[in-house]
Copies of this chain bind each other. A is one copy, B any other.
Amino acid sequence: MAEKNTGKAVAEITPRDVDFAKWYTDVVKKTDLVDYSSVKGCMIIRPYGYAIWENIQKTLDTMFKETGHQNVMMPMFIPESLLNKEKDHVEGFAPEVAWVTHGGSERLAERLCVRPTSETLFCEHYANIIRSYRDLPKLYNQWCSVVRWEKTTRPFLRSREFLWQEGHTMHATAEDAQKETLQMLDVYANFCEKYLAIPVVKGRKTDKEKFAGANATYTIEALMHDGKALQSGTSHNFGDGFARAFDITYLDKDNQLKYCHQTSWGMSTRIIGGIIMTHGDDNGLVLPPAIAPTQVIVVPIAQFKEGVLEAAEEVRARLAKVVRTGIDTSDNSPGWKFAEYEMRGVPIRLEIGPKDIENGQCVLVRRDTGAKTFVPLENVEKAVQELLEDITKNMYEKALERRESMTHVAHNIEEMCEISETKPGFIKAMWCGDLECEEKLKEVADVTSRCMPFDAENVGDTCVCCGKKADKLVFWGKAY
């Protein structure tokens, strides 16, 4: 696995609680997830980082197909006139798109933007291919990269080009579109909680925070270790706004021409940043088993002794049939290897040495807790699979506990300011629904609304800002 001992050691990672931002950058660089390129603000995703994305992609893609979606490829360019077709949408995206003006040595008659998102392209296509109610729903998705010309960038979290998937669907009725919007939010939430061990709050965005051109945006919000929120996946209901702008109609059973109802939903490589910032620690990455490129790393102990390498290779080969298994037979010391795979977040380290072989056992060390167990070699497959499940469960519970302990309640603006200044995390508070109050909270308490959760409780009945009657619970916080 490791190609050479470059002498790097865990000590080189800034401690997480000393400087979280520096810790994050150290981790993504030192574990070879990304590299920078001469293209400012764009990242190179290296093999270890890309393998994580491939695992995410494989699982999500299966979930999309199980819910009836099909993949397509749209062009990466959008003619300026097409982008301009929906007013709110172009206002939201135009300031941050990259423009192609020349093809070869010729100036183009019309500028093309590199897609920041593909609603307009899908709408144009749907207008072409949808005729009757029998054509609906259309449930398309695409895996691709998109470009947004951001001023400041950070690997995975904010980058001028990033990988994502974007689902774009068309439905006969408003109810169908709403059902799809919420179904895909559930897919994202299940994926985060079950596979990534990241607890999320499901809810709706306020109008201020919703997607450019959407009627309603739904979100899953996760809390990072430093108490900042990460919007981890979004699902939008567009109503028939784009359909009217692009004239996407269908002939219904009753022989009436009607507008289609539309959704879109996306999850991106950003979620890799979320994995790092939810689970990582001072020793580096802690990867959820479902997406870890290597789930078990076999480390032979005293490998120069007779029979050790053979026994290690034998257990590797057996495990490789059920989980993603690696082995490190390099001449680096066991201690170096322990630190290396800890840093890379491999969920289980399997040690096997002369004594273990004698006793017909091996040692399993879990990355999340550091706990060691001795396991008979004869049922190592079962032990490893059970341990991986337990690791996922424990990682989820630990993250959930932390989120709960970092979720606070504010009843008035003074409390809001105090909590915002002194206690990192989510702040639950009631809101009257006025944009003015939302803006004031940003200005005075430095928080934005993260979401109006589905599982809403009442923590009061007056707006945290203006004191007027309020029935909307909002999660507030600072966000990536």
Q: Which residues of A contact B (CB under 8 A)?
A: 3-4, 35, 37-39, 42-47, 50-51, 53-54, 70-79, 82, 94-105, 112, 114, 121, 124-125, 128-129, 132, 134-135, 140, 144-145, 147, 149, 160-161, 163
Of B70, B121, B124, which one neighbours A51 at CB under 8 angstroms? B70
Please list 27 pairs of residues, one from A and one from B, whose beta carbons are closer than 8 Å in the complex, sorted by A's number.
A4-B135, A35-B125, A37-B74, A38-B79, A39-B75, A39-B112, A42-B77, A44-B125, A46-B72, A47-B70, A50-B71, A50-B72, A51-B70, A73-B145, A73-B163, A76-B76, A77-B161, A94-B104, A95-B104, A97-B104, A98-B100, A98-B112, A99-B103, A100-B101, A100-B114, A103-B160, A104-B149
Q: Which residues of B contact A74 (CB under 8 A)?
A: 37, 44
Q: How many angstroms between the C-alpha atoms of A45 and B121 in the bound complex?
A: 12
A3–B105 CA distance with the chains assembled, in angstroms = 45
Given A101-B101, A103-B149, A134-B4, A35 contacting B129 (CB threshold 8 A): yes
In the complex, what residues of B have CB within 8 A of residue A145's CB?
73, 76, 144
Question: Are the C-beta atoms of A99 and B96 separated by less than 8 Å?
Answer: no
CB distance from A100 to the nearest CB of B (A): 5
Contact between B125 and A37 (Cβ–Cβ < 8 Å)?
A: yes
How far does the alpha carbon of A149 sit from the alpha carbon of B112 in the complex, in Å? 13
For this chain, the copies found in one complex come to 2
Docked CA distance A144–B95 (Å): 26
Q: Are A77 and B149 in contact (CB under 8 A)?
A: no
Given A35-B128, A37-B75, A76-B114, 13 more pairs with CB closer than 8 A: A37-B124, A39-B112, A42-B75, A44-B75, A44-B121, A50-B72, A76-B76, A95-B104, A96-B104, A99-B100, A99-B101, A100-B114, A144-B145
Q: Are B43 and A75 in contact (CB under 8 A)?
A: yes
Among the listed B51, B82, B95, which residue makes an inter-chain contact with A71, where contact means beta carbons less than 8 Å apart? B51
**Residue in B50, B72, B96 whose CB lies within 8 Å of A70:** B50
**A69–chain B nearest beta-carbon distance, Å:** 9
Let me know if B161 and A75 touch, CB within 8 A: yes
B54:A73 contact, CB within 8 angstroms:
no
A221 to B429, CA, bound (A): 67
> Contacting A161 at CB < 8 Å: which of B4, B76, B125, B163?
B76
Chain B positions within 8 Å of A76 at CB level = 42, 76, 114, 145, 147, 161
Is A77's CB under 8 angstroms from B4's CB?
no
A65 to chain B, nearest CB (A): 10
Bound together, the chains give a CA A97 to CA B103 distance in angstroms of 6
Give the chain B neighbours of A50 by CB distance below 8 A: 70-73
Q: Least Cβ distance of A160 to chain B in Å?
A: 8
Q: Assess the B129–A78 pair: CB atoms within 8 A.
A: no
A140 proximity list for chain B (CB < 8 A)? 47
Which chain B residue lies CB-closest to A75? B42
Inter-chain contacts of A112 with B (CB < 8 A): 39, 98
Find the residue from A78, A104, A114, A132 having the highest chain B CB count within 10 A: A104
Cβ distance A73 to chain B, nearest Cβ, rounded Å: 4
Most buried by B among A100, A101, A140, A160: A100
Q: Which of B44, B53, B95, B121 contacts A37, CB < 8 Å?
A: B121
Nearest 6 CB-CB pairings of A with B: A42-B75, A103-B149, A47-B70, A45-B73, A4-B134, A99-B102
- In angstroms, how far is the closest chain B Cβ from the Cβ of A447? 27
> What separation, in Å, do the CA atoms of A77 and B44 have in the docked complex?
11
Task: For A3, list chain B residues within 8 Å (CB).
Answer: 134-135
Question: In the bound complex, how far is the Cα of B129 from the Cα of A4, in angstroms?
Answer: 12
In the complex formed, the residue of B with least CB distance to A77 is B39
> Which residues of B are found within 8 Å of A42, using beta-carbon distances?
75-77
How many angstroms from the CA of A104 to the CA of B145 in the assembled complex? 18
Contact between A98 and B105, CB atoms less than 8 A apart: no
- Which B residues are in CB contact (< 8 Å) with A149? 103-104
Q: How far is the CB of A372 from chain B (nearest CB, A)?
A: 31
- Best-surrounded residue of A44, A112, A140, A163 (most CB of chain B within 10 A): A44
Give the CA-CA distance A54 to B141 in the complex, in Å.
13
Contacts of A72 in B (CB 8 A): 44-47, 50
Q: Which residue of B lies closest to A43 (CB)?
A: B75
Determine the chain B residues whose CB is within 8 A of the CB of A121 once the complex forms.
Answer: 37, 44
Q: Is the Cβ of A73 less than 8 Å from the Cβ of B100?
A: no
Q: How far is the CA of A450 from the CA of B112 in the complex (A)?
A: 36
CA distance A100 to B161 in the complex (A): 14
Nearest CB in chain B to that of A82: its residue = B38
Partner of A79, one of B39, B75, B96, B101: B39
Tell me the minimal C-beta distance from A388 to chain B in angstroms. Answer: 22
